[in-house]
Every structure is written in C-alpha cells, then in structure tokens.
Amino acid sequence: MLYGRSEEQTVITRLLDDAGNGVSGALIVRGAAGVGKSALLDQAAVLAGDRMLVLRGAGIQPEMELPFAGLHLLLHSVLDGIDALPTEQARALRGALGLERFAAGDRFLVGLAVLTLLANTADERPLVCLIDDAHWLDQASAEALLFAARRLDAEGVVLVFAARDDEGMFDAPGVRELQLRALEATAAEQLLDSHAPDLAPEVRRGLLAEAEGNPLALIELPATLTGAQRSGELPLHAVGMSPVPSRILRSFHERIAALPAEARTLLLVAACDDGTLDLVLDAIKRLGGSLYDAEPAEAAGLVRIADGRIVFRHPLVRTAAYQHAPAAARQAAHRALAESLDGHPDAVGRMAWHLALATTGSDEAVAAALERGAEQAESKGGHAGASAAYERAAQLTPHAAERGRRLAAAARAAAELGQYHRAGALADRAAPDLSEPLESARLAQVRAAVATARGDLDTAHTTLSGAADAVREQGADDLAAEMYFDAITAAWLACDFAAVTRTATRAAGIPRAHPLLRAASGLGRMAAEEPPVALSSMREVIEGLAQSARPADLRRRAALALWDLVIGDDTAAYHRAVAIERESRTSGAVGVLPMALVLLARAQMFMGRYRDSLSSAQEGYRIARDIGQHHHQALLTGIMTYVAAAQGDEERCQAHAAEIADVTDGATSGIRCAALNLLDLAGGRHEAIVRRALEFDRHSPAARTMMVLHRTQDVVEAAVRLDRTDLARTAAARVQASATATGQPWAQAVALRCRALLASAEEAGDHFEQAVRLHQQGGRPLERARTELLYGEWLRRNRRKLESRQPLESALEIFQRLDARPWTDRTQGELRAAGKRHLAANAPTGLIDQLTAQELQIVRLAALGMSNKEIAAQLFLSPRTIGYHLHKAFPKLQVASRGELAQLALSLEAETP
C-alpha cells in the first residue's frame, strides 16, 4: 500500500487507461533517493494487472559503460519480435544487443527499432515499460529509449522512467516529468506506524523529524534501533548524524555486516554485475561459494531471486554491498566475473571492464582487452561506452605512444556522441604523447570539432590548417586536402575572408590535383573579391565537392546540396535533396535526415511549395530535437519563420523568430533576417527593414554573401519607399551582380525589377516587361508574383488601368495559391483601383487543406501503395501511429479506403517541383 501518493497514482492510472484506449505516453518520475520512486513503479505494475503486458528494466551502476546493457535487460523477454521488424531496424537492434555481428551504422536507428518493437508488442495488449534508476542507464540505452519515448503516439505503449534528482545524468527534454516529493506529515505518520507500531511517542516524534518525509527512511531507520531505543530508554544515537540517504545507506551497511561472510561475498558478486543468476553462481563457485549462500540475505529481506536474477530490494542495498566490501574482495569478485565471461564473444566489453576493475597499476594485456571491448562497443554505435573503455585502457597502458593513441580514440568517440567538453579534455591529455603526424592530424580534427561546437571558428580554422600543413609534408595529400577545405569552411563561417584566401593559397601547393582543391580555390577567390561578383566561383566549389563525394557518403552529399541553394539553382537542390532524403530513410540514417530535410524544406520554400516545406521542416525539427542536433533544429525553425512570413502569419513568424534570436550562425540568422524583412514589407514597415539590413550587413558578411538573392531585393523596395535612393542603388547593384553570376532567369528578373524601381518612367516599363518574361521561364513563384504586382501598380499609377489588370490577375492567382494572405489583399486592392469590380474569391479550402502536415505526409505515401509498416519505416514512426493518422485523414478527404487516395493525386504533388 502507498501512503500519501493519491495524486501521483492518478497520473499513473490515467497513463495506463489512455494506453488501454490506444494512446501512448511517457513519464519521468524524479525524486531523491528513498522518496518512493521504485514503490510507485511497483504500484504501476499492480495497476496494470493482467490487462497489460509489463516489462521491467533498470539502470545498473556497474553497467553504465556497457552499451545497450539496460536495453537488453528491459527487452530480453520480447526479443523474438525482432524478426518482424523492417530489415535495417532488425539488423541494427540485433547488432546493438549482441545477437549478431553488426558494422557501425546510424546509432539512432536502434531507437527507431525499439519504437517499432514496442508498438508491435502492444498489438496483442497494451504495453507498460517500467525503468528504474534511469540515471544509471548506459548512454546508448538511454538514447534509444528516449528516442522511442518522444515518438510514441497511438501504439498503446507507456514508458515510465524513475530517476534521481541529484544525479544529473538523465537529461530528457521533451518527456513529461513528475516530481516526487517527501510525504506530508499525515502520510508519513501512517507509514511509520504501519512498520513500527511499538515506538514510544517521543521516539516516534524523533524518527518522523529525522526522516523528513522520506518513505525509505521511515521504513529502514526503525529497524536499526535496539529495544531500549524503541522504548525511549536510550537516545537515538544513530540518528541525526548525516543526511537521510546516508543514514539509510549506513543501515544497509549494518545489516549486510551482520550476514555470514559467504553471503556477503555473494551479494558483492551480484552487485558487481547485473545479477544474472547463472553468471553469479559461476563466479561464486570460483570463489568457493554456492547458491545456498543467498539464503541469509533473502531471509534478511535484502535480496530475492526472481526471473533468473538476484534482485536487490533497493538500489541502495546494491550500493551498500559494493561499498562495504574491502578493496581486495571487490577485485577478487571482478576477476571471478571476468573469468566466467571469458570466451563469450558478445561479452568482450563486460569481461574487459571486470578485468580492468580487478587491476591496479599498468597492464598492457588488460588495456588491450579493454580496447577490443571499445571497438566492439563502437561497432554497435555505443560511443559513450567506447570512449570510457578507451580512456580506462589508456590509464592501464605503460607506453606513452599507445596511451596517447587510446586517449585520442576516446576523444574521437566522445566527439561522435556530441560530448564536446569531454572530447576536448581527452584531446588535451592525448596530444603530448602523440608523435605520429597522422595521429596528431586526426586528433586536430577532434579539437576543431570541439572548437566549432563552442562557436570558436577561429581556433577551428587555425587547428585544421596547421595540421593540414603537417600531413602534407608527410605526403598524405588526400587528408591534407580534406583538412584544408574544412579549415577554409571554418574561416568562411567566421567571416575571416583573409584567412580563407591565405589557406586556399597554401592548399594550392599540393602537387597533384585533388577535387576538393578546386572547391578550396573557388572559395578563396570568392573571399578575395566582393563576394557577389565572385559568385560564379561557387560552381567550381560544387563541381569539386561533387567529384570528391563518395556515393555512400550521405553527409558529404548533403553538405554539397547546400551550395546549389547558394547559387539559386532551386531545382537542382530539390532533386538532390529528394535523393538524399530517400536514401536516408531507406538506410535508416536518422542522423543525416535532419540535414536532408533542411535542404528539402528550403528548396520547397523557394519553389513556393509552402505546405510541403512546412511538413518537411516540422518533421526535421522533431527529429533534430530528439537526437540533439541543435544546429539543424535552428535552421529548420528559420525555414518555418520564413514560410509564416510569406503567408502573413505575424504571430507565428514572430514566435519562431524569437526561438532563434540568439543563434549567430550565418545561415540561420540570414533566413531569420529575410523572414522578418518580408513580414515587414508586407506590413509596410519599411524603416524596420532598412534598420535591420544595415545592422545585419555590419555583423554578418558571410550570411550577406549567401543571402543576397534571398533578402536584398526587399531592402531595395523598402529604401525606394523611404526615398533612400543611395541605399537602394547600392543594394540593387549587389542584386544585379549576384543575378549575373548565378545565371538563373528568376534572379535576372528580380534584378530587373530592382532596376525598374529606380528607373525613369521611360525605362521602368521596359525593365518590368523583361522581368515578367524572364519569370515565365520558372523559378521562385513568390518573386514572380511580387514583380507582377509591382508592375501592375506601376501601370495603374501611369493611367494604364486596363493593361495593369493582366499582371495583377496573374499575381493574384499565385498569391492565392501560395496562401500569401497580405499579398493577396494588397493585389485585390490594386485590382479594385484598376476598375476590376468582380474579383474571384479566394480559392476555397480544399479537402487536402484540411489535413495536418503529418497527415498529408502519411496520406501521400499511402497513395503510392505503401503499407503502414513501410510508411512507418520511412517517417520514423510506429505502424500503429500511421494507422491512427490515416483513420483521422480518411473522413477529412471523404474517402473510405486506400484505393481511393490515388484519385486525389497527392503523391504526384509531393514528387514534382
């Protein structure tokens, strides 16, 4: 029975009831040690009863460095369901759990496999997963489970984690939390009385005060008292000397100390690993013990044997069993466990860790075993465990060069995981022991990644360029070229154009041709000249990168596609992005998908496909948030900001803009500036545009370079409205230079529009007419409609009302199709002023427009004939969630089956620009 937890039980009950109705949920129960987290999980299992399948798991402190140990403990009873997963997911999960050999892939694919497995398991009856001590989960398990938790929707699955407040190791943004606090006075009294009804009144009051509402303290502290203390004859000397968790721990120490030596040894061995009964017994036999040694501990209520494991009554019992033992006994226990695990191919890492914990001083053999365990961990995507194993191996390594190499490997694994502070510290420790130039160069790449992550692009550039010089002298031209290009990229983003030019010149000294050097040369020339004038060099960048990219290197190909957008080739960028996105989904490359969706959403945005762009951006945002890719999360927010601005949704635009107000990288700050300019232009706030443009150009020259054709035409129009002719002419010249360099018809049309705004009456008409003709060749419909609107306004002002109607009507049709409401209103006003009395109403909302972005995405794939399982694999959701959204979408579309979807041509709209 739980005392004083009615509100918390209500939360749990609601989660379980929702799961019974097919609605999933996740919850983290947080609280101090002993406050009742485990008891609440036990109550959740009771409440689930037979109507739900309950899986129990826990984080185990000795296994924190073993990748996917916690996941295996939770899922061991449902692993036969792996066979039903999509091929790539099944392969990833089997590899992670050591069920088959697995080459390292996208570590987030394991989380998707967990989501699908849980959803499939819940097909028979709702599923509840209870994970205690989540703060002690290994990083890989925590990452996979949280990825699944954030994507639960309509599967009938509940995930409940219990984690301590003070551990700081279970960061789970995006998952609901329940704070478990100390019991109120009445509940504390009831709990104490139920376990110790014979206490003298003054003793009872003293214990209530000392326990401070901690349930475990209320249960355990009375058990430490003698009869004289319980009656009040002697004072409570054992109480009041330390914080409550420490006092509870001491009480467990005392109870363990009272056990026979053989029982203490068995508890120690169980505490050193996950308590698997067969493994513990094998190790105990090596130490001269047997299963019978567990009986005194069971009788004392410290452990129980269930489901093939020795289960500790509370995590603090495990802690006490380990801490109470002398150092020599702990080493003997670890050594016995290592011997028991020897020969198990899937336990290389566990065996190595036990050997390491049994070793003092240097030992190359143990260090080598740990390194093999680290390599196995990396092959599963367990970079956190690999980094820890490499670091411990280095500590045991007697030779400096090998120690430095292993520390460098630990730094690389930490950087791969995004633990940049740790990676930097490891790199600093590794550097003095590295003498091999190629090893030092690879370490320099880690240090540059660390510097980039903290925004120190100057240090990243200096580190990379210096290392590139060193490896070039060793004849490693390929590595040198790669590092020179990365150094140039860092300098470019730092707006240090002089450094770009210097490094490009040094890179040109590599004797044999290398594709990346063409890219470096192009960037060097762009930096040496006024960037818009040299924009044509960007084509050389693209060609160089295209030749250097390996077909399977999705990240490099995604980076390449960004440059297509820079030069304004939206169609090429779109098709490249679609290919990368599809391959990312097919291969399960979850880590690459946010970058691919950035490219796709931007291309769709510029092509005027705002609904598609918003759908891509929202999906990319969710995934980037879930896997910690904050840079891509900000870029995708920028895209949503721009779409909101184009459609005149000021509230949504300003909200998104506020989310990225402190982001300083050129791409994000550039699109934010462009979005706010567009919003202000539609609202007639021209002063704000000019003020923002001047401020932006002063602080962000690199973004200015890449955003000339995205926002400078807005500055021209605003400056003309304010009669700021000099500013307008300067901005128009930059637009013209960039348009000439790109060679894109739409860009040339925009440049002509800017010239028309500044031209005399005689010349303006010719410029507008040429611009309209160029726009008809395709590209950026919003820009076309704006040109036609301005031309129609110019014609009307020059008393050519009848002529003005044709461009205005064309502009109105585009604005309505784009749902660009303020521009639609302005155009309709112009048409009325031109004498058009009977305007077509805004296009009525169609069936498709009633769908949410996610429903539209799912419906389009279903229209292609894909099954729920196939769609789920594509969108990184569960099949049950796909079915749920289709069930909601069908009535909106007025269809009753998947066969009718094809008639709506949804798939065609999604596939063609």
How many C-beta atoms surround the C-beta of residue 763 within 10 A? 12
How many C-beta atoms surround the C-beta of residue 360 within 10 A? 9
Residue 703, pLDDT > 50, answer no
595: alpha, beta or left? (left if phi > 0; alpha if psi -120 to 50): alpha
Rg (CA), the chain: 33
Residue 239, pLDDT > 50, answer no
Q: Residue 312's closest CA among 267, 273, 280, 272?
A: 267
How far is residue 840's CA from residue 851's CA, in Å, rounded to a whole number? 25
What is the pLDDT averaged over residues 649-653?
94
What is the pLDDT averaged over residues 843-872?
78
Question: Exposure of 158 by Cβ count < 10 A (0-12 exposed, 13-18 middle, 19+ buried)?
Answer: buried
Specify the 3-state DSSP secondary structure of 311.
strand
Query: What pLDDT sits at residue 745?
Result: 93
User: Which stretch of DSSP H or E encloses residue 128?
Assistant: strand 127-132
What is the pLDDT averaged over residues 95-114?
75
Query: What pLDDT sits at residue 794?
Result: 93
Query: What pLDDT sits at residue 490?
Result: 83
The vertex-756 CA angle with 755 and 757, nearest 5°, equals 90
Query: What pLDDT sits at residue 243?
Result: 63
Query: What pLDDT sits at residue 552?
Result: 40
Query: What pLDDT sits at residue 481?
Result: 82
Indicate the Cα dihedral angle 139, 141, 144, 148, nearest 10°. -130
Q: What is the pLDDT of residues 4-56, one digit of tens each?
A: 899 999 999 999 999 999 999 999 999 988 899 999 999 999 999 989 999 99
- Rounded to 5 degrees, φ, ψ at 801 are -60, -45
Q: What is the pLDDT of residues 565-618, one digit of tens each?
A: 666 778 888 888 888 888 888 776 777 788 889 989 999 999 999 988 998 999
Q: What is the pLDDT of residues 116-146, one digit of tens each?
A: 999 999 988 999 999 999 999 988 899 899 9
Residue 339, pLDDT > 90, answer yes
Residue 624, pLDDT > 80, answer yes
User: Which stretch of DSSP H or E encloses residue 155?
Assistant: none
Confidence of residue 663 (pLDDT cuts 50, 70, 90): confident
Residue 290, pLDDT > 80, answer yes
How far is residue 702's CA from residue 495's CA, in Å, rounded to a whole number? 5
DSSP state of 406: H
How far is residue 751's CA from residue 876's CA, in Å, rounded to a whole number? 42
How far is residue 425's CA from residue 444's CA, in Å, rounded to a whole number? 13
How far is residue 397's CA from residue 389's CA, in Å, rounded to a whole number? 12
Confidence of residue 513 (pLDDT cuts 50, 70, 90): low
Average pLDDT of every residue of the chain = 85
What is the pLDDT averaged over residues 216-237?
79
- Segment among 87-96, 243-252, 704-713, 886-895 with least mean pLDDT: 704-713
Kindly report the pTM of this predicted structure.
0.75
Confidence of residue 385 (pLDDT cuts 50, 70, 90): confident
Residue 104, pLDDT > 70, answer no
Q: Residue 680's closest CA among 657, 698, 703?
A: 657
Q: What is the pLDDT of residues 570-584, one digit of tens each?
A: 888 888 888 888 888
Confidence of residue 238 (pLDDT cuts 50, 70, 90): very low
How many C-beta atoms surround the C-beta of residue 258 within 10 A? 11
E runs forming strands in 534-667:
none
Mind spelling out the 3-state secondary structure of 825-855?
A: HHHHHHHHHCCCCCCCCCCCCCCHHHCCHHH
- Taking every pair of C-alpha atoms in the chain, what is the biggest distance, in angstroms? 110
Q: What is the pLDDT of residues 259-281, one digit of tens each?
A: 999 999 999 999 998 888 999 99
Query: What pLDDT sits at residue 535?
Result: 55
What is the pLDDT averaged over residues 410-431?
86
How many C-beta atoms surround the C-beta of residue 556 within 10 A? 14
Residue partners of 254: CB distance under 8 A and separation at least 6: 224
- Rounded to 5 degrees, φ, ψ at 128 are -120, 125
DSSP state of 276: B
842: alpha, beta or left? (left if phi > 0; alpha if psi -120 to 50): beta
How far is residue 505's CA from residue 530's CA, in Å, rounded to a whole number? 18
Indicate the Cα dihedral angle 496, 497, 500, 501, nearest 10°. -140
Residue 708, pLDDT > 80, answer no
How far is residue 778's CA from residue 913's CA, in Å, rounded to a whole number? 11
Give the chain's end-to-end CA distance (angstroms, integer).
Answer: 62
Residue 241, pLDDT > 90, answer no
Query: What pLDDT sits at residue 911?
Result: 43
32: alpha, beta or left? (left if phi > 0; alpha if psi -120 to 50): beta
Query: What pLDDT sits at residue 759?
Result: 92
How far is residue 116's CA from residue 590's CA, in Å, rounded to a whole number? 14
How far is residue 215's CA from residue 748's CA, in Å, rounded to a whole number? 74
